[in-house]
Amino acid sequence: TMSPVNSQVIITEVAPRDGLQSEVQWVPSEIKQHFIHLLQEAGVPEIECTSFVSPKWVPQMADNQQLWLGIHKKPGVSYLALVPNVQGLHLAIESKVEEVVVFGSVSEAFSLKNINCTIDQSIDKFSKIVALAQLHNIRVRGILSCTLGCPYEGPIEARQVVKVAEKMKAIGINRLGLADTIGVGTPNAVITLLDQIATIYPVHSLSAHFHDTYGQALVNIYACLQAGVRRFDSSVSGLGGCPYAKGATGNVATEELVYMLHGLGYHTGINLEKLIMAGDFMRNYLKNTNNSRVALAYLAKRS
Nearer to its own copies, 86 or 245 (CB): 245
Beta strands in the chain (DSSP E): 10-13, 46-51, 78-82, 99-105, 139-145, 175-180, 206-210, 231-234
Residues classed as catalytic: 242
Which residues sit at the interface with its own copies, rule CB under 8 A?
Answer: 183, 185-189, 212-216, 218-219, 221-223, 242, 244-249, 253, 255-256, 259-260, 263-265, 292-294, 296-297, 299-301
Q: Which is nearer to its own copies, 18 or 255 (CB)?
A: 255
If DSSP codes are grouped into helix, strand and coil, which group holds residue 158? helix
Smallest gap from residue 302 Cβ to its own copies (A): 9
Q: Running DSSP on this structure, what letter comes out for residue 25?
A: S
User: Running DSSP on this structure, what letter comes out for residue 235?
Assistant: B
Q: How far apart are CB 124 and its own copies at their closest, in Å?
A: 34
Q: Shortest approach of its own copies to residue 297 CB, angstroms?
A: 4
Question: Cβ 259 to its own copies, closest distance in Å?
Answer: 5
In the bound state with its own copies, the residue whose beta carbon lies nearer, of 4 and 265, is 265
Could you tell me if 232 and 11 are in contact, meaning their C-beta atoms sit under 8 angstroms apart?
A: yes
Nearer to its own copies, 101 or 208 (CB): 208
Our measurement of the distance from residue 98's CA atom to the centroid of its chain's CA atoms, rounded to an integer in Å, reads 17
Candidates 6, 19, 53, 23; CA nearest to 209 is 19
Least spacing, CB of residue 161 vs its own copies, in Å: 17
User: Residue 176 pairs with which residues in a beta bridge?
Assistant: 142, 206
Count of CB atoms situated within 10 Å of the CB of 297: 13
Q: Which DSSP helix (H) or strand (E) runs through 217?
A: helix 217-226
Q: Tell me the three state secondary structure of residue 108.
A: helix
- Which DSSP helix (H) or strand (E) runs through 210? strand 206-210
Q: Which is nearer to its own copies, 200 or 224 (CB)?
A: 224
Helix axes 108-115, 119-135, angle to 10 degrees: 60
